[in-house]
Amino acid sequence: MTSILSDRINQMEESATLAMAKKARELKMQGIDIISLSLGEPDFKTPKHIQEAAKAAIDEGKYFSYPPVAGYQDLREAIAKKLREENKIGEAKAENIVVSTGAKHSIANVFMCLINEGDEVVIFSPYWVSYAEIIKLAGGVPVLIEGNLENNFKATASQLETAINDKTKAIIYSSPCNPTGSVFSKEELEAIAEVVKKKENLFVIADEIYELINFTGKHASIGSFPGMFERTITVNGFSKGYAMTGWRVGYICAPVSIAKACEKMQGQFTSGGTGIAQRAALAAISGDQGPSKEMEKAYLKRRDLVLGLIKDIPGFKTHIPEGAFYFFPDVTYFFGKSVDGFKVNNADDFCLYLLDKANVSLVTGEAFGAPNCVRISYAASEEELIEAMNRIKEACAKLV
């Protein structure tokens, strides 16, 4: 039967993270006691002073009309100042900033503006689920370079060098990384920058949305390196570090021509991001950073807790994540094992098994380009994490 829908949407994969979160939500609504470790979403509330700023903005009554497409000027200036002072991106000015409805929207704008049909984009894999689908939607071809468990899932500059050809238009990575929690060091990024600089018109999309959850204490922005400002689109947002997923505010810092293109794209698709949410974002970026630091500390404590619990489950192989709030263990040990007639052939089956028998939702590594792994989000309470890992351990012991 011919579909009434476009080839574009028929060819697109559903977001695996959101699909698993939806499934977990539906099971919870049926009264099943699901522990959801599938969605990459802080379990903390948005800090009070940010909430208050949004309330004050409503009371002021000034932010109910269409905001400027690229974002309020004072917010763009505050973002540029942060990038200059904290990220050492010395050239960043308000004109380089475009505020969007979440960093996902920022990334979509960037690819829609950079990619022509057939252009290649190198993705450092494992990678966040949405990169490849957005690239394909824009007509591009994702090219994966793969890190593995032994090198903390970090693909290297020399792998990048071999992947680049005449068609390569951009590269994208996240650091701290979703789904692996790995963090690129300054030296690793410098080596990547050297490769990028060898090719004209090659751009780096540096997804730094987990910047504020970094246990190494060192965050490096590739856009701050000599000669890299004009080649880098730094992506960031408020969802993770300020626990503001539902407010939907993200941004880019890009060379002016790219920033203007994204503004034009956004002007036809969504217009400026929600006014009140932007006022909250301004309070987040220019106000007290204490709550973000406290959340980072809590994530570190949970990381150590979950690390201990994972090590206690025979068959799980993991590295030690240095940021974000994910573990990404290799679970190949369980492939081929069965219980009650159900055979686990791959990571998808393993996640379905755990959802069904342990009532814990994880996300299959398949969606992140690593079919031997599963992603565990530890943005959950310590009690939930302990209970979830116990349930997983029990369910895994039954697989023979």
Q: Report which secondary-structure segment, H or E, holds 339.
A: strand 338-339
Footprint on residues 2-41 left by ligand GLU (CB under 6 A) = 15, 17-18, 39-41
Q: Please name every residue paired with 145 in a beta bridge, in sequence order, or none if there are none.
A: 124
Question: What angle, 0 to 180 degrees and rounded to 10, lies between the N-to-C axes of helices 73-85 and 275-286?
Answer: 30
Minimum CB distance to ligand PMP, residue 384 (Å): 20
CB atoms within 10 A of CB 315: 15
**Beta-sheet pairing, 203-207 with 363-364:** unpaired
Minimum CB distance to ligand PMP, residue 68 (Å): 19
x/- mask, ligand PMP, residues 307-336, rule CB under 6 A, reads ------------------------------
Minimum CB distance to ligand GLU, residue 40 (Å): 3
Residues 224 and 253 sit within 8 Å (Cβ to Cβ): no
- Give the three-class secondary structure for 151: helix
Footprint on residues 95-124 left by ligand PMP (CB under 6 A) = 102-104
323 touches ligand GLU by CB under 6 A = no
Select the binding partner of residue 250 from ligand PMP, ligand GLU, none (C-beta < 5 to 8 A, by kind): ligand PMP
Task: Compute the distance between CA of residue 378 and CA of residue 233 in angstroms, rounded to an integer.
Answer: 29
Footprint on residues 189-228 left by ligand PMP (CB under 6 A) = 207, 209
Question: What angle, 0 to 180 degrees and rounded to 10, lies between the N-to-C axes of helices 382-397 and 290-311?
Answer: 20
Minimum CB distance to ligand PMP, residue 45 (Å): 16
At residue 332, what are phi and psi to the nearest 5 degrees?
-60, -25
182 touches ligand GLU by CB under 6 A = no
Select the binding partner of residue 103 from ligand GLU, ligand PMP, none (C-beta < 5 to 8 A, by kind): ligand PMP
x/- mask, ligand PMP, residues 234-273, rule CB under 6 A, reads ---x-x-----x----x-----------------------
Footprint on residues 160-179 left by ligand PMP (CB under 6 A) = 174, 178
Of the pair 148, 245, the CB lying nearest ligand PMP is at: 245
Of the pair 126, 291, the CB lying nearest ligand PMP is at: 126
206 touches ligand GLU by CB under 6 A = no
CB contact set of 72 (below 8 Å; sequence gap of 6+): 99, 275, 278, 279, 282
Footprint on residues 33-72 left by ligand PMP (CB under 6 A) = 40
- C-alpha distances (whole Å) from 116 to each of 59, 79, 169, 172 are 45, 29, 9, 16
User: Side chain identity at 377, as an amino acid letter?
Assistant: S
Binding site for ligand GLU (CB under 6 A): 15, 17-18, 39-41, 104, 128-130, 178
